Amino acid sequence: MTIRIGVNPIAWSNDDKQELGGHIPLETCLSEARQAGYAGIELGHKFPRDAATLRPILEAHDIDLVGGWYSTQLLRRSVADEIAAMRDHLQLLLDMNCSVFILAETSNAIHGDQSAGLSRSPLLTAAEMTAFCHDMSELCAYIHDQGLVTAYHHHMGTVIETPAQIAAFMEQTSDRVGFLLDTGHATFGTGDPAALARTYASRITHLHCKDIRRPVLDAKRKADSAFLDAVVDGVFTVPGDGSVDYPPVLDALKAANFAGWIVVEAEQDPDKANPLEYTSMGYRNLSKMIAEAGFTIQDKA
């Protein structure tokens, strides 16, 4: 039950609203991520997408590639077309010796649309959910056969957001579809991260740790704000700096013999929340809680 702790570059440069941190060089992100203590980092939009270019950059900072988000479009195209579309991303992960493939359906998502309020999140009918789960199961079986574990990311503004949507998705997908539990999105989506961890522990293949500032969340929900407006106004923060209760989540994973990456992914406006300061705080808080849960933390593979 060895854990490696990674970070997402979204603390430095936001992928959905790229002007947030647009001025921060990739070199700064990588050097500060390692300085904060992280063993790995996920992909962001500033990363080169070929292994020959990316590998020496990461090696120079002594940091590994965890993996990276891939946006599926299965509501718009076939599984075969999706496999063709993801070929370069899949090959990059394989070439970089990653172990996990993170994916989420975004073909009708609104999380990147700053004109869309939270109430406009897309919905699937029961029949559409069944068809989507069938296709996702087939896609993840293919990815598994290529040598990577899948991790489906539930996310605000997408078709898998609420506890009920997560339950329907998990019930109708195969075991080849791993589950990425995101503590911040679970809370934002009216769920309980600890309850989700206990229910789906055997399917959890990846953990994203972001905390929630509850007063900001409540205000943004009341105002039906856009998801990105909530991000800019600080709804998310690093573990230990908000309302999420992490020990029960980690205890559930420990009981299920979870091993792999646990990643701090806490998007904020870097002009308001200094990335090195906050990611360092997140590493200190999270590593302490992981150790207290009985896991062994490993720096190098």
Instruction: Enumerate residues 6+ apart whose C-beta is below 8 A from 190.
Output: 162, 163
Ranges of beta strands (E only) in 106-178 are 149-153
What does the pLDDT look like over 249-294, one tens digit per residue? 999 999 999 999 999 999 999 999 999 999 999 999 999 999 999 9
CA proximity to 72, closest of 89, 93, 86 = 86
pLDDT score for 272: 96
The torsion defined by the Cα of 171, 127, 135 and 161, in degrees rounded to 10, comes to -60
CA gap 36, 38 in Å, rounded: 6
2-297: CATH topology is: TIM Barrel (3.20.20)
Q: Are strands 211-212 and 236-237 parallel, antiparallel or unpaired?
A: antiparallel
Helix (DSSP H) and strand (DSSP E) numbers for the chain: 12, 12
Decide if pLDDT at 180 tops 80: yes
Domain extents for the chain?
Answer: 2-297
pLDDT score for 141: 98
* 169 HSE (CA, 13 A, CB side): 28
pTM confidence score = 0.97
Would you tell me the crossing angle of helices 26-36 and 275-292 to the nearest 10 degrees?
A: 30
